[in-house]
Every structure is written in structure tokens, then in C-alpha cells.
Amino acid sequence: MSHQLTVDAPRRSPLRTFLTILGVAAVVATYAFLIVSEPADVVNGPSASSALVALVGFGLAMVLLFAGILPTLPTTTLALIPVALVLNIVLGQFVGSTLVPIYLDSIGTVLVGYLAGPSAGATTGLLSNLVWSFFNPSVLPFAAGAAAIGALAGLSARLGIVRRFYLVPIAGLVTGFVAAAIAAPIAVIVFGGTATGATGAIIALFRAAGEGLVQSVTTGAFTSDLPDKLVTFSVAAALAYALPRRSTQRFEFVRRYRVLAGAKRTGEPADSKAAPAA
Amino acid sequence: MWLAVLAASLGAAAAGRVLGKAVTAALVVVVPFALWALAIHGLFFPEGRTVLAAFGPARVTAEGLAYAGGIVLRTAALVVVMLAFSTWVEVPVLRAALVRRGVPAQLGYVLSTALGLASTVAERLERIREAQEARGLVVRQSLPGRIVAARLQVVPLVLQLVDEAGERAPALEARGQALPGRRTSYVDEPDSRAQRALRWVLAVASLAVVVSVMVPAVAGVLGGGR
């Protein structure tokens, strides 16, 4: 056992990459199953088998992704993840039960995606729902959507979208689209299309107009997720720029892909005074 | 069936002496869910045939009420089972148990740190609010006023937390967080042969239930799809 004190975290190995791919495959397969078996007749009551398939499939994917990604994360990222989880929960409650159909419960996840990359973002999304389910277990089935949000946030940072901040809202809209597409079947199958707050009101509105359940829930998901992710991505980008460079440049992902604008040029006055409120 | 699950998990919570906490936490989640389920499915259920009462566009139908009841009961069972566990479990013991079973140590770190942070952050947010109010922050009713107030409180919180996380990283690094290998734990999980046997029985039983439900469902879809 001759470890050096500064040994690197075990990075990617073929086995871990395989596990990660398997996890993504499990998400895709479960999702495909849910779409194909989407209940046409809601009158016969909630179908238990589809809900079980959803929970088992996404649960399996969660385990695989954890096993594949967690050991490869550098310690700086690992230390940031709990903070992001708490931010998700606290900022989500901050907005709380307003009648605007947004929840803002993924700002921390998106921030980690920006600072530490897609796989860290996906892990944060999964962990966030896992930890949140200690207080509110009804968020657990939506973990796959949270993982997709984190991964897409990391991907957009890597493509330089956060650097060109006028593109951030567009990335948010795209993510909102994906998140809604993932969340809607889960909301129908596991919770019978019941949602609380403004999303629930939208669903009730469409149901009152005589729409089908799947239709109404999908509409509700899109009307709440698109603006929500737009705001989330913008707020997270604003936070990333408000952080002192000492904090952001600690992340290898930020340095390597030059995620934030103005990172190369030194002596930019706006950067060193970016946090007047602190 | 869901009632039996509810009763069993409430019984387990009572045995673990967390009945009050678990019920409170579950009510916080289930009551709004039930109200919305009633509002959505109880009032608006176009597929319903048996109309019990109608107010304009809203029609209370027997089918809608039955559907809402089924969903609420199922969700309540899920919520109570999980909350009975999470209010009972002691996080350090859970962490030790996870590590002993070969779960990546990082998961235990994240779980316990996040659950520990959650309580201190609320307190810290309060302190930031007081500090900002001492500097003259007045939360106004208007939307821009609220946004300004939120910004003045959230930005310092985020800066503080991210900075702390950055400082924690070298400390973790120095303690060998990233190293592979066995972890030793200060906490021992209480375990017995009977518990171990019961766990195996339960694991096999739930696996059997899952397989018996999932295989026909998946086969049905695959068969119907072709």
C-alpha cells in the first residue's frame, strides 16, 4: 500500500465507462417502455405495473450511474455537490408556492454542471433528488429528469454557451424541453397526472376543457419546465459570474474549456469586483 | 393493499419511536398532493360517466373520485414507507452501513454532508437577512422589490457556500478522500443474525414481486409492439 499523499482520484476506467453507458441505456430503455405502454385508458385506475417498471428502471439506472461516475469525480467537485444540493432545496423553497408555474429547484445542479462538467452535473441531479426524498419522497421518481438537466447544463458549458451568455436562455429552453419530455410520462404513470401548485392548476384547466390526461399533463409539464429552465439557466450563469475567480478557476473543467468569459484576459476590472453584495 | 402497506410502515415507525415525526413529515407531503388530486381528478374528469354534482364546467364524477383516491392512497403508501425510514435512520450509521457494503465512499460523504448542511443553511440565511436588514434592506411587496431582496440574500449565501466548499476540498484531499481502499468507521451498525436473515428474505421477496410484475408487462409491450 504505497500511496502518495497527493495521488489522483481514480479516473475513468473501461469498466466505469461501461457502467455509465449501461446507466444511460437503462434510462433510455425505461423511457421508451413508458412511452410505448402509455396508458390509453385512465378510467381503469392507475396501472401498477408501468409505475413499477418506471421506478425499477430509473432506480437501476441511478445505481449504475453512481457506480460509474462517483469514484471518478475530483475532490473539488465532490466538495461542491452537497452545497449544490442544499442550494437546490433552499432556493426552491425561496420561490416556493408562488402562483408562477416555476420551481427553480435545480439552480445548484445547473451551477455544478457549469463548473464541473456534464457527468458531475448528472450526478448532482441524481443525488439532489435522492437527498430531497429524505424530506419529500415524491420527487424521487423524477431523478432521471434531474440527471438530464445537470448533464445538459454541463454540455452547454463545455460548448462555450456560458461564455457567450446571450445563448444561455436558449440552452435553458432546450433543457426545459428535454426535462418536460422526461418528466411528463413519469407524472402520468407514477402519480396519475397529479401535480401540486401552478402546474396542477394548468393540468386542471386542460382537463376542464375535456383534454385527455396524458395530453394535459404533457402541456402542463411544458408550460412549467420551459420558463423554469430558462430562468434557472440564467440565474445559475449570473451566479457563476458573480463568484470570485479564485473559486471558479479551481475547477479543472472551467479552466480547460474556458467556460466563463474573460477567464483568459487578466486584469479585467469587472471580474475582480463581481461580488459587491458579499 | 396500499392500506396494509400504510399500516405496516406506520407500525414500523411506531416501533422505531418516530411515529410523530414520520406522520408530520408525511402529512406535509401528502395533504397538498391529496387536495390537488381531488381538485384535478375529482372536479375535472371528462371520462367520468356517473355525475354526482356539477358546478358549471366542474363535474364531480364517481370515476374521478375513485381515480383520485387510488392515486392518493398509492402515493401516501410510497411516501410513508420512505419517510418512516428517513426519519428513523441515523445518518452516520447509514453511512457506515453503506461503506461496509462497498458503496463508493463518496456517496456517504455527499449524503451526510448535504443532510448536515441543510439545517445550518437555513440558520445562515436568517443571519444574512438580518445583516442585510441592518444595512437598510426593506423587502417591498412589488415583484422587482422581491427580486432585489432575493438577490441581496442569495448571492452572499452562494458565495459563502461555494467558497467553503473550495476550502473543504484540500482538507478532504489531505485526508485521503480520493484514495481507493478500505474505510474504517467510528460508528458500528447494530446488526444481528435474525435481521440479516430477514433482510435476505425481504430482498428475495421484493425481487420476486418485481420480476413477476415486470416480465409480463415488458413482454406484453414487446409482443404488442411487433
pLDDT of residue A48: 66
Q: Does A257 touch chain B (CB under 8 A)?
A: no
User: Could A138 and B174 be called an inter-chain contact, meaning their C-beta atoms sit closer than 8 Å?
Assistant: no
Buried-state track A232-242, b at ≥16 Cβ within 10 A, e below 16: bbbbbbebbbb
**Residue A269 included in any domain:** no
On average, the pLDDT of chain A sits at 77
**Residue A163 included in any domain:** yes
To 10 degrees, the CA torsion angle through B82, B87, B90, B95? 30
The residues in A 85-144 lying below 8 A from B, measured between CB atoms, are 85-87, 89-91, 94, 111, 127, 130-131, 133-138, 140
pLDDT of residue A110: 92
Task: Answer whether residue A148 shows pLDDT above 70.
Answer: yes
pLDDT of residue A101: 60
On average, the pLDDT of chain B sits at 75
Least confident of A1-10, A109-118, B173-182: A1-10
Task: Answer whether residue A278 shows pLDDT above 50.
Answer: no
pLDDT band at A79 (very low <50, low <70, confident <90, very high): confident
pLDDT in tens, B63-93: 777 777 777 777 777 777 777 777 777 777 7
C-alpha cell at position B195: 435481521
User: Could A75 and B181 be called an inter-chain contact, meaning their C-beta atoms sit closer than 8 Å?
Assistant: no
A56 Cβ neighbours under 8 A, 6+ residues apart: B210, B214
Task: Answer whether residue B191 shows pLDDT above 80.
Answer: no
C-alpha cell at position A107: 439552480
Closest partner CB to A43 (pick from B47, B104, B221)? B47
C-alpha cell at position B27: 402529512
**Nearest Cα to Cα of residue A30 among A134, A128, A144:** A144
Instruction: Please return the burial class of A186, using the count of CB atoms within 10 Å of its CB with bins 0-12, 13-18 and 19+.
Output: buried
Chain B CB contacts of A73 under 8 Å are 106
With cell 455537490, the residue in question is A81
Pick the more confident residue, B94 or A196. B94
User: What is the nearest CA distance from A109 to chain B, expressed in angstroms?
Assistant: 13
Instruction: Specify whether the CB–CB gap between A159 and A113 falls below 8 A.
Output: no
**Residue A270 included in any domain:** no
Least confident of A24-28, A181-185, B117-121: B117-121
Range of the domain at A108: 14-262
**Nearest Cα to Cα of residue A205 among A216, A193, A191:** A216
ipTM above 0.90, yes or no: no
Pick the more confident residue, A162 or B191. A162
Q: Does A63 touch chain B (CB under 8 A)?
A: no
Euclidean distance between CA atoms A151 and A155, whole angstroms: 6
Q: How many CB atoms lie within 10 A of CB B107?
A: 19
Task: Answer whether residue A86 shows pLDDT above 50.
Answer: yes
Task: Answer whether residue B11 shows pLDDT above 50.
Answer: yes
Buried-state track B148-172, b at ≥16 Cβ within 10 A, e below 16: ebeebbbbbbbbebbbebbebbeeb
pLDDT in tens, A47-60: 667 777 778 888 88
User: Could B218 and A53 be called an inter-chain contact, meaning their C-beta atoms sit closer than 8 Å?
Assistant: yes
Domain ranges of chain B: 1-88, 93-174, 191-226
**Residue A7 included in any domain:** no
pLDDT in tens, B103-153: 777 788 888 888 878 778 878 888 888 888 888 777 766 767 777 777 788
pLDDT band at B209 (very low <50, low <70, confident <90, very high): confident
**Residue A271 included in any domain:** no
Least confident of A221-230, A236-245, B126-135, B170-179: B170-179
Euclidean distance between CA atoms A92 and A114, whole angstroms: 19
Structurally, how many domains does chain A consist of?
Answer: 1
**Nearest Cα to Cα of residue A239 among A211, A201, A277, A265:** A277
B25 Cβ neighbours under 8 A, 6+ residues apart: A135, B83, B86, B87
Task: Answer whether residue A1 shows pLDDT above 70.
Answer: no
Question: By three-state DSSP, how is residue B206 classified?
Answer: helix
Euclidean distance between CA atoms A267 and A262, whole angstroms: 9
Question: Which amino acid is located at B165 in the chain?
Answer: A
A11, A63, A69 from A14: Cα distances, Å: 10, 17, 12
